[in-house]
């Protein structure tokens, strides 16, 4: 079940995109998601699509990974697209029944929304596939740093984030292990009615919580034993460096924005 999820996984590699500064990648992805909304005609979507493929091609990652990233969300996308197609009014009416009607604008909107979804997923998949989680949390810490001025606990949040990210796979393994152990004791997960399904979760959830508590306690002790006293006065082991290639990305994105604004109807 969880094995099929591509979205949010990291694939080690040594491409240009892999080596980029995570701050650039993170901001660029968010920026892309923001400006994709500028696109409003087929030329601009074509440009955005080409630009996404251009970025993907630099990652040296097989395109099928990206397709798989879309797959789990395909029903959500199709549902949204269907709503758009059936309920948008305006332009030529092709078909109409009761409150539903398929119109020129509807079809156009549907296609645009589909493209928008897919491109956003492609870009964020590109981010997570090429960036190790720890680098991502470093980037988030850096980006949040200005918030210190308003007493936002940046260090604590980023520490929690990096611990959380670190333990996601561990907890996944643990979940699978406990599930198997309970299955061997005769629990049927995902069978029967809703109530039965929920009841079957209890023997999974309680051990998971208990082991998380134990893990947290052990980890806190181990951290204290190694001299952790909070964020004050710490130095950093992983230091992010800005390279020329990162500046290049900024320029490329700026050009893309200009082109997009130009093509927009």
Contacts with another protein by CB under 8 A lie at: 3-4, 6, 11, 62, 64-65, 68, 174, 177-178, 180-188, 202-203, 206-207, 210-211
- Structural tokens at position 46: 């074509």
Taking the C-alpha atoms of residue 169 and residue 62, their distance in angstroms, rounded to an integer, is 23
| Distance in Å, CB of 130 to another protein, minimum | 14
| Distance in Å, CB of 134 to another protein, minimum | 20
> Pairing relation of β-strands 100-103 and 93-97?
antiparallel
Taking the least distance from each CB to another protein, the nearer of 41 and 180 is 180
Taking the least distance from each CB to another protein, the nearer of 155 and 183 is 183
Q: Are 49 and 260 in contact (CB under 8 A)?
A: no
- Structural tokens at position 231: 């964020």
- Which of 5, 112, 121 minimizes the C-alpha distance to 56? 121
Q: Which residues contact 225 (CB under 8 A, 6 or more apart)?
A: none
| Distance in Å, CB of 67 to another protein, minimum | 11
Taking the least distance from each CB to another protein, the nearer of 62 and 224 is 62
Taking the least distance from each CB to another protein, the nearer of 64 and 244 is 64
| Distance in Å, CB of 236 to another protein, minimum | 32
| Backbone φ, ψ for residue 57 (5° rounding) | -60, -25
Taking the least distance from each CB to another protein, the nearer of 211 and 257 is 211
Helix axes 22-35, 244-263, angle to 10 degrees: 0
Q: Which residues contact 142 (CB under 8 A, 6 or more apart)?
A: 23, 240
Taking the C-alpha atoms of residue 105 and residue 90, their distance in angstroms, rounded to an integer, is 6
| Distance in Å, CB of 65 to another protein, minimum | 6
| Distance in Å, CB of 17 to another protein, minimum | 17
Taking the least distance from each CB to another protein, the nearer of 180 and 247 is 180
């Amino acid at each position: 079940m969880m094995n099929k999820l591509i979205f949010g996984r990291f694939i080690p590699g040594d491409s240009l995109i892999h080596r980029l500064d995570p701050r650039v990648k993170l901001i660029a992805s968010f920026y892309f998601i923001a400006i994709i909304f500028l696109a409003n005609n087929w030329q601009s979507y074509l440009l955005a699509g080409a630009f996404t493929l251009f970025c993907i091609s630099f990652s040296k990652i097989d395109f099928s990974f990206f397709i798989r990233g879309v797959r789990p969300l395909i029903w959500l996308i199709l549902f949204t697209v269907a709503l758009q197609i059936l309920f948008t009014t305006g332009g030529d009416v092709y078909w109409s029944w009761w409150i539903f009607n398929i119109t020129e604008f509807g079809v156009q909107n549907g296609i645009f929304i589909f493209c928008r979804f897919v491109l956003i997923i492609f870009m964020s998949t590109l981010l997570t596939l090429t960036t190790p989680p720890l680098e991502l949390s470093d980037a988030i810490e850096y980006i949040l740093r200005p918030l210190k001025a308003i007493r936002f606990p940046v260090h604590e949040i980023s520490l929690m984030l990096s611990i959380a990210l670190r333990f996601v796979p561990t907890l996944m393994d643990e979940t699978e292990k406990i599930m198997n152990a309970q299955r061997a004791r005769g629990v049927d997960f995902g069978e029967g009615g809703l109530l039965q399904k929920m009841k079957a979760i209890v023997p999974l959830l309680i051990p998971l919580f208990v082991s998380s508590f134990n893990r947290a306690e052990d980890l806190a002790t181990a951290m204290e034993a190694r001299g952790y006293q909070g964020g004050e006065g710490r130095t950093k082991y992983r230091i992010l460096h800005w390279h020329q290639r990162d500046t290049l990305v900024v320029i490329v994105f700026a050009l893309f924005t200009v082109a997009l604004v130009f093509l927009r109807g």
